[in-house]
Amino acid sequence: MSSAESPHARLVVAAGGSERLDRYLAEHHPDLSRSRAAQLLEQGRIRVNNEPARKSQRVADGDIIEIDMPAPVPTAIAPEAIPLVIVHEDQDLLVIDKPAGLVVHPAPGHRTGTLVNALLHHVSDLSGIGGVLRPGIVHRLDRDTSGLIIVAKNDAAHRRLAAALKRREVHRIYVAAVWGHLPQDALEIDAPIGRSRNDRKRMAVLPDGRAARTRVRRLARWRAADLVQAELETGRTHQIRVHLMHIGHPVVGDATYGQAAERGMSGPDRGWAAELARRVPRQFLHAARLRFAHPRTGAALRFDSRLPPDLAGAAEWALATTLGG
């Protein structure tokens, strides 16, 4: 167990206290969320003035709150010695440069070999997030998307980073290659996204979907494709891929939302497009930059990741053949 979660804590309510106990604990104890506080209250592990506490009771000035923290239980997920590129690590968080092909969370069909399995092997000072010894994935990347991802080591960091993400204070910038040419150098796609009514494994732009906004800027114009930068303002599932398909410029190599899009090319560009598709081994989408404030210190953090070799090689070919052609 990390030192971030004390096995026993004692809080004295300062002047002006009148909140519900579970809310007060979430606001004043760095390693408790409201749901975690409620869980401990139900387990009888919290006392107020030496009496068993209820989550609905309100604190009063001078109340003495005592918390008996249980040791976090090991997760059922097995640690695995999977190589990881750790870009940054401190007592609160990690930034990982995830390779394509690595699933983030265990799920049906991917019970092992995930980023979480790897983290449990590589990180020795995880706290009991929600009472379970596990890493806190703050946001996700698709299996075939490479690049930067934030991992929290304790409840306080996870809660603050998740709140910053909700407030749009975590800036996530991607690099993608898309088929065809954008109508302008910069644009914003504002289109709600929800689960497809025809295929539950896919997302789609739907009138009753959740609000979703992506800012896109062209970085390079290739012969029959563009290299773009995409910044998420919201974080819906498959957002960049769905939005780019929605405007008619699907991500190169995207087997779900842009399958065989290059076959729609005509004239001399068709052969070029077919060759680019052959050179791109998976969806051309890379999480290239993260900017956010450190959850404990507030210090501004920025991390950058270059295109990995599989995408960089295809981009070099595309540029060379565009300039040469």
268-303 per-position pLDDT tens digit: 899 999 999 999 999 999 999 999 999 999 999 999
- 70-79, 149-158, 304-313: lowest mean pLDDT where? 70-79
- Specify whether the CB–CB gap between 151 and 141 falls below 8 A: no
Mean pLDDT of 259-272: 83
The tokens of 260 are what? 């065989």
**What's the rounded Cα separation, in Å, for the pair 107 and 293?**
30
Tens-place pLDDT, residues 20-35: 888 888 878 777 778 8
Predicted confidence band at 167 (pLDDT cuts at 50, 70, 90)? very high
Could you tell me what percent of the chain has a pLDDT over 70?
94
Alpha-carbon distance of 90 to 293, in angstroms, equals 14
By mean pLDDT, which of 97-101, 151-155, 222-226 is the weakest? 151-155
Phi, psi for residue 34 in degrees, rounded to 5: -65, -40
Rounded to an integer, the average pLDDT of 73-79 is 79
**Amino acid symbol at 96:** I
Q: Give the active site residues.
A: 142
Mean pLDDT of the chain: 90
